[in-house]
Amino acid sequence: MALIVQKFGGTSVGSVERITQVAEKIRKFRAEGHGLVVVVSAMSGETNRLIALARDISEDPDPRELDVILSTGEQVTIGLLAMALKAIGVPAVSFTGPQVRIGTDNAFGKARIQHIDDGKLRDALDSGKVAIVAGFQGMDDNGNITTLGRGGSDTTAVALAAALKADECQIYTDVDGVYTTDPRVVDRARRLDKITFEEMLEMASLGSKVLQIRAVEFAGKYNVPLRVLHSFKEGPGTLITLEEELSMEQPVISGIAFNRDEAKLTIRGVPDTPGVAYKILGPVSAANIEIDMIVQNVAQDHTTDFTFTVNRSDQRRTEEILRRVAAEIGAREVAGDSGIAKVSIVGVGMRSHAGVASKMFEALAKHGINILMISTSEIKISVVIDEKYLELAVRSLHSAFELDAPSEQVTE
């Protein structure tokens, strides 16, 4: 008998009708003889509603109390799903994160899991019950309710699968797997049968919204086989696994990720002296603003133009910091540009194949797309381009690296 952890997201449990459909799916799966732990998110839209309620009271809600409020969304779902299962003859029991004893640090709103006591879950499984666990939440050492941040239910599911040494962790969502790119942009995008943890981590960090980054990190660290499946359509989904488990015919490029939520900041006329990069980036990092790509160009007059990207929502704050820094170090000016996007190609096959970068640049050049910034790693190449060319760039790269599905496999 296999032990499976299944996770159902907000759209999968977004109504009573959907919850009863999930219950029937669980009943059929359990009838095959599997032990089941089910992790659920809040019903679709519920977390946003709770945040809005909190902000009606306070523009800057207390982080501890906000976590108390937000954790109720998942608590409603686990109770409803347990009732739905019992109504069709499936024994089930629900647990909040604190009841399971999912122990976290005390970083409210973005807590990290530190330990899990799996005793209650094993007792439930041994007694033949389906254990239903509220995702996204835990408890710190002082007994405070904590939440794990957006998408944290994925992390809950993977962490429970690791703790229980489950045979597989299945993430049910509104897509039927991981695709070579967003099918809404490229209608001939292909569903991948398998992808490595490393590739999925890059795809998630570069803009693919299928899985939360922390969940992929956790799965890779503890080697938890992870499968992405559609909540209400049958199919094999996509298995995320170790690199050595992939076939010898793995393509050079597995997928193309992109992100529109980028802004480019440039501080011009910076004195080219040791330590200047820290003087620029130190205050930005101290403001808890994440920096992505960085380019530095040195001119003949011994000044430099220093350019980097941040999330678009952080652009205004970053510009304010840079203006203060520019005045302190004697830089000439600060400029910002929010009309950019990042496009990335990802694939473990790049390690053993030359010419990938030149092929990428050639494909973009054929369509007159100018590259503003470049960043590389062993298994990815990212470029920043004008946002207006984003979809054209993704389609041209998808074709250039032969990722298009055959016409007969394209779904409506």
Residue 388 has pLDDT above 80, yes or no: yes
Which homologous superfamily does the CATH classification assign to the domain defined by 3-174?
Acetylglutamate kinase-like (3.40.1160.10)
The pLDDT > 70 percentage for the chain reads 96
* Long-range contacts (CB closer than 8 Å, 24 or more residues apart) made by 291-298: 292/262, 292/342, 292/375, 293/342, 293/373, 293/375, 293/382, 293/384, 295/373, 295/374, 298/272
CATH hierarchy code of domain 256-400: 3.30.2130.10
Residue pair 331/268 in contact by the 8 Å Cβ criterion: yes
- The structure tokens 């040494």 sit at 165
Give the model's pLDDT for residue 408. Answer: 53
Q: What is the mean predicted confidence (pLDDT) over 59-86?
A: 96
Q: What is the mean predicted confidence (pLDDT) over 117-139?
A: 96
List phi, psi (to 5°) of 146: -125, 155
Give the model's pLDDT for residue 50. Answer: 96
**Separation between Cα atoms, residue 312 and residue 261, nearest integer Å:** 5
In eight-state DSSP terms, residue 404 is P
Q: What is the mean predicted confidence (pLDDT) over 220-244?
A: 88
3-state class of 257 per DSSP?
Answer: strand
- The structure tokens 């960090």 sit at 205
Give the model's pLDDT for residue 252. Answer: 85
Question: Where are the extended beta strands (E) located within 202-330?
Answer: 226-230, 238-241, 255-271, 291-298, 303-311
pLDDT band (50, 70, 90) for residue 351: confident
Report pLDDT digits (tens) over 296-325: 888 778 889 999 999 999 999 999 999 999
Report pLDDT digits (tens) over 246-279: 555 567 899 999 999 899 999 999 998 899 999 9
The residue ranges of every structural domain in the chain are 3-174, 256-400
**Separation between Cα atoms, residue 8 and residue 62, nearest integer Å:** 29
Both structure tokens of 301: 């007059």
Both structure tokens of 237: 């989904």
Report pLDDT digits (tens) over 131-149: 999 999 999 999 999 999 8
Give the model's pLDDT for residue 412. Answer: 44
Give, in order, the Cα–Cα distances in Å from 226 to each of 115, 165, 238, 287, 337: 20, 12, 8, 35, 38
Both structure tokens of 346: 């990802």
Candidate from 100-104, 224-228, 251-255 with smallest mean pLDDT: 251-255
- Between 213-222 and 152-164, two packed helices, what is the crossing angle to 10 degrees? 10
Q: Mean pLDDT: which of 100-104, 149-153, 247-251 is highest?
A: 100-104
Q: What is the mean predicted confidence (pLDDT) over 377-386?
A: 94
Residue 411 has pLDDT above 70, yes or no: no
pLDDT band (50, 70, 90) for residue 407: low
Both structure tokens of 228: 């992405």
- Provide the whole-model pTM: 0.81
| Mean pLDDT taken over the chain | 91
- The structure tokens 């190609």 sit at 345
**194-196 and 238-241 beta bridge pairing:** parallel
In sequence order, the 6+-apart residues with CB closer than 8 A to the CB of 8 are: 22, 38, 39, 40, 41, 172, 231
**Separation between Cα atoms, residue 179 and residue 191, nearest integer Å:** 4
Q: What is the mean predicted confidence (pLDDT) over 167-189?
A: 90
pLDDT band (50, 70, 90) for residue 207: low
Edge-to-edge strands of the sheet including 145-147? 113-116, 102-104, 137-139, 145-147
**Separation between Cα atoms, residue 287 and residue 273, nearest integer Å:** 24
List phi, psi (to 5°) of 186: -120, 110
Residue 409 has pLDDT above 80, yes or no: no
- Between 356-366 and 390-400, two packed helices, what is the crossing angle to 10 degrees? 130
**Separation between Cα atoms, residue 54 and residue 394, nearest integer Å:** 39
Give the model's pLDDT for residue 352. Answer: 79
Give the model's pLDDT for residue 249. Answer: 54
In eight-state DSSP terms, residue 352 is G
Burial of 110-125, coded b for 16+ CB within 10 Å and e otherwise, reads ebbbeebebeebbebb
Of 180, 191, 198, 189, the residue nearest 245 (C-alpha): 198
**Separation between Cα atoms, residue 221 and residue 231, nearest integer Å:** 26
Both structure tokens of 291: 């920096």
**Separation between Cα atoms, residue 142 and residue 220, nearest integer Å:** 30
Residue 127 has pLDDT above 90, yes or no: yes
Edge-to-edge strands of the sheet including 226-230? 92-95, 130-134, 35-40, 3-8, 168-173, 226-230, 238-241, 194-196
